[in-house]
Amino acid sequence: MTRRITWTLLVLTAVLLVLAVVPLAVSLTARERVAFRDNQRAATRVIAAAAEEHLSDHGPPAAMRKELAAAARSGDCAAVYDASGRLVAGTPCAAAQGGETRELVRKVLAGHEPAGPEDEGRLLTAEPAGEIHRPVGAVVLARSATALHARVTAIWGWSAAIGVAGLAASVFLSARLARWVSRPLSTLDSTARRLGEGALDERADVDGGPPEVRRLAATLNTMAARTEALVHGHRAVIADVSHQLRTPLTALRLRLDVLSAGAEGDTAAELAAAQQEVARLSRLVDGLLAVARAEQATPRPGAVRVGEVVAERVAAWSPVAEERGVRLAAPPGPASTAALGAGHLEQILDNLIANAVEAVPGGGSVTVALRGARDSCSVRVIDDGPGMSDEAKEVAFRRFGNAEARGTGLGLAIVHRLVTVNGGTARLEDTPGGGLTVVLDLPLWPH
């Protein structure tokens, strides 16, 4: 954003400077040229007026020679011609004037008002001595254009300096403006990212930047404070529920164990059934607490080597699968690194493998396969068990969504929450030939 704002203001300033400075420099240059030529023509007329007194009235040439001497001291080259075009008087350089001068004299004596050309860095002007249509002579004055060129160069130099100074000021101000706007936005972005990673005590700076950005920072801080209070409140509730439920369940299980130790017959059978219900209730409480923790998880992603975790969990569950007569395998796959919270992939795989091993009958198989993609890592848990109906798959990721589940019905809900909170997706597909395939698309760790 800083670079974009700077370049935008720089281009805008450059366009405005070109539209303002260049026409001004052109106008000043034209004015200097006109003023220079007018001044030269005025000097020529002064000499022509002095020459008229000598040529028409045959007066003494003193005044004419005085003006020619003044022109010579100024660095000009002037010459006076009579009505026949003969050189009457001039500055020391008058004899060196060439054909252009004679052509100007001829036109002036003919009653024209020719414009003097610029030749090799000098300007020529010619004026009649006497009346324009019946001149008694002509005066030609050549003046070096060096002074004019120096002034024109100065005009364009100052114009260029103004333009460069304007661009430099524009770069400085635009960079300051861009930093003033973008720095608080960058801070907001960093704060929001850390909040998303689980740092709920993170707050944005509300002292810098435009008023709109400060209001946005204040709103973000308010939202973060409320979220922090809500999450901490829920965590406290979960801790209280865990303590309040597990303690009486443990006490009840111990009492049932004591009673069943000396029971016989129908009483023993009833106590055994009660123990099974208590165990089921304990698993249900643990599942609900696991779902609640997963729903409140705000992970800080880290680099997780998916292949290593899959191999580790498959090795851990292999004895359970062998005991049930199920083949559990994990064929080699691409070495992918996913961005996941600590321990989340292990918990996801434990739930999926446990569900698959429990659902597959003896002699079946469960395969955990890896596939690579451009921007994600795909983990597939494939079984050849009874599968699920389309209606069951639609609600399988909800709490107790699968009425056909043999366990608590919370495993897939935990999986779905842990995958989505890390920026991934989870879906269910039918295994070719029968069974269920759970497909997880996990975000890759940026390299």
pLDDT tens digit at each of 447 positions of the chain: 667 777 777 788 888 888 888 888 899 999 988 898 889 888 888 888 888 888 887 778 888 888 888 888 888 888 888 888 888 888 887 666 666 777 788 888 877 766 555 555 678 888 888 877 778 888 888 888 888 888 989 989 998 888 888 888 888 888 777 777 777 777 888 888 777 766 777 887 777 777 887 888 888 888 888 877 777 776 666 666 666 677 777 778 787 777 777 777 777 788 787 877 777 677 666 666 665 665 555 667 788 888 899 999 899 989 988 988 999 998 888 888 888 888 888 888 888 898 888 888 888 899 999 887 777 788 999 998 888 888 888 888 776 555 555 555 567 887 888 888 888 888 898 888 888 999 998 888 876
The CATH number assigned to the domain with range 302-443 reads: 3.30.565.10
Question: What count of other Cβ atoms lies within 10 Å of the Cβ of residue 146?
Answer: 11
| φ, ψ dihedrals at 124, nearest 5° | -110, 135
Assign 80 to helix, strand or coil.
strand
Q: Do 375 and 444 form a contact (C-beta atoms < 8 A)?
A: yes
DSSP state of 349: H
Helices 344-359/411-421 angle, 10° precision: 150
* Residue (of 380, 348, 360, 376) closest to 445 by Cα position: 376
- Give me the pLDDT at residue 113, please: 65
| φ, ψ dihedrals at 372, nearest 5° | -100, 150
Query: Among all chains, which residue has been given the structure tokens 């998303």?
Result: 196
Question: What count of other Cβ atoms lies within 10 Å of the Cβ of residue 73?
Answer: 9
Q: Do 310 and 346 form a contact (C-beta atoms < 8 A)?
A: no
Question: What's the CATH number of domain 211-295, 3.40.50.10490, 3.30.450.20, 1.10.287.130, 1.20.120.530?
Answer: 1.10.287.130
Could you report how far apart the first and last alpha carbons of the chain are, in Å?
24
DSSP state of 444: B
Assign 82 to helix, strand or coil.
strand
- Give me the pLDDT at residue 118, please: 53
| Half-sphere exposure at residue 104, Cβ-oriented, CA atoms within 13 angstroms | 25
Bridge partner list, 90: 79
Every domain of the chain with CATH number 1.10.287.130 lies at 211-295
Tokens of 363: 């002699």
Every domain of the chain with CATH number 3.30.450.20 lies at 2-150
Every domain of the chain with CATH number 3.30.565.10 lies at 302-443
Q: Do 364 and 385 form a contact (C-beta atoms < 8 A)?
A: yes
Instruction: Print burial letters for 268-301: b (CB count within 10 Å at least 16), e (below 16).
Output: eeebeebbeebeeebebbebbbbbbbbebbebeb
Distance separating alpha carbons of residues 447 and 445, to the nearest angstrom: 6
Question: What's the CATH number of domain 2-150, 3.30.450.20, 3.20.20.70, 1.10.260.40, 3.40.50.1980?
Answer: 3.30.450.20
β-pairing, 327-329 with 302-305?
Answer: unpaired
Distance separating alpha carbons of residues 25 and 160, to the nearest angstrom: 9
- Give me the pLDDT at residue 31, please: 92
Distance separating alpha carbons of residues 344 and 353, to the nearest angstrom: 14
